[in-house]
Amino acid sequence: MTRVLNSISITRKVALLITVLIIEFIIFVFYSTNSDEDLREVYLSSIVGTFVSSVVLSFNILKSIKELVLNLNSKTNELKKLNDDLKNKIREEVEKNREKDQIMYQHSRLAAMGEMVGNIAHQWRQPLNAMTVLIQSFAVKNMTGKLTDEFIDKQVQEGLRLSKIMSNTIDDFRNFFTPNKSRKYFDIKECIEDTIDLAQEKDVAITIKCDENIKIYGYQNEFSQVILNLLSNSIDSFKNIDTKHNKNILVEVEKDLISNKVQIVFIDNGGGIDEAIIDRVFEPYFTTKHKATGTGIGLYMSKQIIEKQMRGTLKAENIVMNFDHNSYKCAKFEIVLPLAENIVLEAEKKLCIA
């Protein structure tokens, strides 16, 4: 009997016990109301039998409940251990992601510094050449006996002017790459023009179409770095095309008063983005440049700045556009940013709640 009871579920055991108790109660009623001695003996023996059965069933149910509780405790301990392991794994992954982000931001800063040094060198080349000629002129004048006080004063003033230009170049880039500690409203056209002036690409025709007095709310220096990065990518794309190819960059800025947003479109006719990689250009460490010159974090960091710090969007696509009456395959980067401070703060609030 014990084997049979062990093979059935506890629910069925309880149902069986209730049935036995009901039968025992019915037999007891018949035993109490019947006066026939023979029948009363039969009823009594039946009552004893059902009582024994109910006792056996009760003990078996208690045993099953005990086993169930033990099993439940065991499962609870396993679940707790699994939960702890999962928490530890999540904590480890979060730490790993933080480390990756820190490394990425560090690489971004190093890349920005390298880009800054390259741009300073680019802008220093001409005044340095002029300074070299100026210094050599002293030796030439001295050798010919024509070194006069007037000539010395003139060359000294020219040397001071060149050194001031070089010093201003350093200050411009130092301020440019200093992160903004607080957001503010800034003129978007002025910011784009100042950034393009830093690049000083003489052989690229850069056109800016923008209404006056369009101001956006955010980090000005970080936004300038995004524009400089897009500009650098466009200039790099021109290196892979025919030298006779007209190099054009168009920057269009349009304000939408209905949505209270501004759209900045950056287009170059450098041949567009390879369709095989266009979906990956914003991935971290993905680059089409040579390993010695490309870090692969420029567009990724640009997207992080636009979307996380300024609550906008940045996307890329290929289009066909006319420049100088000719059709070109062009790369188009579109930035959409909120104009008003309250939109940025509301977007941050929603992000925090989510």
- Each residue's pLDDT, cut to its tens digit, for the chain (354 residues) gives 555 555 566 676 677 667 767 776 676 666 666 666 666 666 667 667 676 777 776 767 777 777 777 888 888 888 888 888 888 888 888 888 777 777 776 676 666 667 667 666 766 777 788 888 888 888 888 888 888 888 888 888 888 888 887 787 777 666 666 666 678 889 999 989 888 877 666 678 889 998 778 888 888 888 888 888 888 888 888 877 765 678 899 999 999 888 889 999 999 998 888 888 888 888 775 555 543 334 345 788 788 889 888 889 999 999 999 888 888 889 999 999 988 766 666 666 665 554
Task: Give this prediction's pTM.
Answer: 0.55
Which stretch of DSSP H or E encloses residue 335? strand 326-338
54 and 185 part of one domain = no
Q: Measure Cα distances from 264 to 178, 197, 256 in Å.
A: 23, 18, 11
Q: Which domain holds residue 288?
A: 180-353
**Distance from C-alpha of 34 to C-alpha of 60, rounded to nearest angstrom:** 33
CATH number reported for the structural domain that contains residue 262 in this entry:
3.30.565.10
In a domain, 69, yes or no: yes
191 and 326 part of one domain = yes
341 and 201 part of one domain = yes
In a domain, 230, yes or no: yes
pLDDT for res 293: 38
In a domain, 133, yes or no: no
Which stretch of DSSP H or E encloses residue 67? helix 37-144
In a domain, 188, yes or no: yes
- Which residue has tokens 């035993």? 31
pLDDT for res 315: 94
Domain count, the chain: 2
pLDDT for res 181: 65
pLDDT for res 151: 87
* DSSP-based three-state secondary structure for 282: coil
Integer-rounded Cα Rg, in Å, for the chain is: 41
321 and 189 part of one domain = yes
